[in-house]
Amino acid sequence: MFSSRVPGQLEPNRLARAVAGARAAGRALIDLTGSNPTQAGFHYPVGMLEPLARAAAHTYEPEPRGLTAARAAVVEDYARRGISVAFDAVVLTASTSEAYSVLFKLLCAPAGDVVLVPAPSYPLFEHLTRLDGVEPVSYALEYQGRWVVDESSVDAAWSDRVRAVLAVSPNNPTGSVLSEGELGALSTRCAARDTALILDEVFADYTLQRDDAPDAVASGFRRKSSPTESLTFRLGGLSKSAGLPQIKLGWIAVDGPDRLVAAALDRLDLICDTYLSVSTPVQAAAPELIARGGAVRAQIFERVRANYHTLRTMAAADPSVEVLHAEAGWSAVLRIPSTRPEENFVLELLEHSEVIVHPGFFFDFPHEAFVVVSLLPPPDVFAEGVRRILGRVHA
């Protein structure tokens, strides 16, 4: 990743050092990079985490795929979004990041096999693949008024070493949602080439368009009436759907042709039984945590939608700044005049305006100049941060 970075461009840890120095100096900074809902001023219901102390947590009954009640709650949560998932095809993990690691172990051999990953996208995939000895190779998302998969780049990146295609819908940070046609095209390619599709849907609850209902499904596969063409793994978790990143529970829903699903689940049983990483208390509490998480999810939903509207309204006053169209998620992308390198703009914004943003190259944007902001901050803080960004554009 970061292949688009030009010589002399800001390194990620350099910005981190600059931010750390500003904070150590006691400067009051507006952080528009935060992605932790527990630190964004949301109200968590009193007693929300009490289910973790239920008596059921005292008994250890290991199950490779997870406890029955917890998996049933996941199935019900998919049903809330209008998606039918088979109970036996749900596998619990300690996080979405761990789910990736489990799937890389399932699908890939280290030191040779390849996973295709989208760009732009979150740079965590670089680390997750490398830690399992898997090589990430990028395919492109192109902006054409909305982000679309460049199918020719998928084909160009393909080789006989590819074992999985990773699709993120909604994408972080572009906020793009793959259409049914795009996901269908990826699934067809994977099926024809004996390759799996990994579909990360962790931000699916947070649609940004005004006509979307709170439970609108931000995914290409809106309702599963028949198996997908390819072996498909759908990822979700409490971190985003309930605003509980500290409660480590994620899941994988396996879909596809019956024989491929059965073989994958057999192998997943072995991998997950080897680690048994999901704690009993969180599994026992899962039904109540998922249900109670709706109160937090509703707050996040309203916050990110309101902030996205504020961003678009404020940026509309400056024709040199464009807010790229986003459909869902917690982030937004601004295209700014490329009158100076992103590194200069981001560091000047920190130094002179006391605002922290991500530069586009952190996410492997193909060219300059972009900044990425989180939609999670409190509305007044967010609006002030945007005001300072727009003021710095022509400074």
Q: What is the pLDDT of residue 15?
A: 83
Residues 6+ apart with CB under 8 A from 3: 119, 138, 364
Q: Is 206 exposed, middle or buried (0-12, 13-18, 19+ CB in 10 A)?
A: buried
Q: Is 32 in a helix, a strand, or coil?
A: coil
CATH pick for 50-293 out of 2.120.10.80, 3.40.640.10, 2.60.40.1250, 3.40.50.970: 3.40.640.10
Torsion of CA 325, 327, 331, 337, to 10 degrees: 0
What is the model's pLDDT at position 222? 46
Which candidate, 173, 188, 351, places its Cα nearest to that of 257? Answer: 188
Q: What is the pLDDT of residue 395?
A: 84
Phi, psi of 376 (to 5 degrees): -85, -25
Q: Tell which residue, 385, 290, 266, 294, has the closest CA to residue 332.
A: 385
The burial class, CB within 10 Å (0-12 / 13-18 / 19+), for 42 is middle
Dihedral pair phi/psi, residue 328, rounded to 5°? -165, 165
Integer Cα distance of 236 and 223 in angstroms: 16
Please give the pLDDT value at position 48: 95
pLDDT of 214 reads: 55
pLDDT one-digit tens code per residue, 168-184: 999 999 999 999 999 99
The class level of CATH for 12-42+294-393 reads alpha beta
Positions of the chain with pLDDT lower than 70, given as ranges: 1-12, 210-227
DSSP code string of 137-181: EEEEEEESSSEEE-HHHHHHH--TTEEEEEEESS-TTT-----HH
Q: What is the pLDDT of residue 220?
A: 47
Residues of each domain in the chain carrying CATH 3.40.640.10: 50-293
> Which are the contacts of 281, defined by CB distance < 8 A and separation ≥ 6?
52, 53, 54, 57
| Residue range(s) in the chain whose domain bears CATH number 3.90.1150.10 | 12-42+294-393
Q: Which long-range contacts (CB under 8 A, 24 or more apart) does 357-362 make?
A: 357/32, 357/33, 357/389, 358/33, 358/173, 359/10, 359/15, 360/120, 360/333, 361/2, 361/4, 361/5, 361/9, 361/10, 362/2, 362/12, 362/123
